[in-house]
């Protein structure tokens, strides 16, 4: 992995929400999740997948979703803004993404992890990965 860069971001805990509420929250994001058919990417699925997590990203927002039957437990991360609590994060670009990521999404991946007592991991690909890398480089601590 590349040398990580630390910066500040804002985290918003949406807590437990319905899948219908998640669809509204995830509108405009690219999402990734696993289901019985394989690794999937695209808009948030209309119904909760059978597996445990979903990640969503855009250049200015990241979502981490834990799937709990038909509900979702959601955390949102933004590089800045008035909402949420400021938290330190570490942005890491893997030197060689896993084969599943390269074949379905490409090489441009970053992992963003809160540096708190209960770390939360987010993922960003493509233009969103570049935006988070630029954010961290501009606000390195």
- Identify each DSSP E strand in 1-141 by its residue range: 5-18, 30-35, 38-42, 53-58, 61-68, 71-78, 85-92, 109-114, 121-125
**pLDDT tens digits in sequence order for the chain, 141 residues long:** 455 688 899 999 999 999 999 999 999 999 999 888 888 889 999 999 988 999 999 999 999 999 999 999 999 999 887 789 999 998 887 766 556 555 555 557 788 888 888 788 888 888 888 898 888 888 544
Instruction: In whole angstroms, give the CA distance from residue 104 to residue 127.
Output: 15
Domain ranges for the chain: 5-138
- Determine the pLDDT at residue 36: 85
- Determine the pLDDT at residue 1: 44
- Determine the pLDDT at residue 38: 81
Instruction: In whole angstroms, give the CA distance from residue 39 to residue 32.
Output: 7
Q: Tell me how far apart the terminal alpha carbons of the chain are, to the nearest angstrom.
A: 19
């Amino acid at each position: 992995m590349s040398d990580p860069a630390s910066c500040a971001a804002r985290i918003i805990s949406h807590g437990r929400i319905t899948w219908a509420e998640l669809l509204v929250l995830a509108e405009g994001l690219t999402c990734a999740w696993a289901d019985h058919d394989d690794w999937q990417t695209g808009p948030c699925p209309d119904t909760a997948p059978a597996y445990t997590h979903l990640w969503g990203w855009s250049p200015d927002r990241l979502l981490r979703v834990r799937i709990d039957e038909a509900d979702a437990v959601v955390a949102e991360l933004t590089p800045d803004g008035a909402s949420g609590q400021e938290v330190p994060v570490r942005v890491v670009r893997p030197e060689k993404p896993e084969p599943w990521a390269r074949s379905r999404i490409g090489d441009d991946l970053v992992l963003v992890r809160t540096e708190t007592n209960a770390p939360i991991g987010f993922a960003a690909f493509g233009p969103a990965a570049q935006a988070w890398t630029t954010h961290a480089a501009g606000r390195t601590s």
